[in-house]
Amino acid sequence: MSASRLINRNVVAERGRTSMRLEPELWEALTEICDRELQDMSTLVRQVEAAGHAGGRTSAVRVFILNYFRAAATEIGHAAIGHGPILRGRMSDITRNAA
């Protein structure tokens, strides 16, 4: 049986101090979002909770991280790093339309 990669950290949420378990990459992404948005992690977690989500807090944070970076992703950015065969074929169209 393999050891869990999840990391447990404490945050202050709606009802006080609590813990969340996320993968290291998601903690890094959440820290990056906090830096970009000039917010501390507890404030951001409270905002995510206040937005409402059918799942629990940790699920809401995971979905928030995904949606945050999806919203920031652009076709030009994806094409520039070679994501997807469709985009590689359309690179000249994408950059021409951006100009």
Give 20-53 pLDDT, tens digit per residue.
999 999 999 999 999 999 999 999 999 998 888 7
Whole-structure pTM value: 0.74
| CA distance linking residue 3 with residue 35, whole number of Å | 30
The values of phi and psi at residue 15, to 5°, are -100, 25
The per-residue pLDDT for 87 is: 46
Residue 72 identity: A
Q: pLDDT tens digit string along 77-95? A: 777 767 666 544 555 565 5
**97/88: higher pLDDT:** 97
* Residue 26 token pair: 């998601």
Give the integer Cα–Cα distance in Å for 41 and 28.
11
Mind listing the domains of the chain with CATH numbers?
Answer: 7-73 (1.10.3990.20)
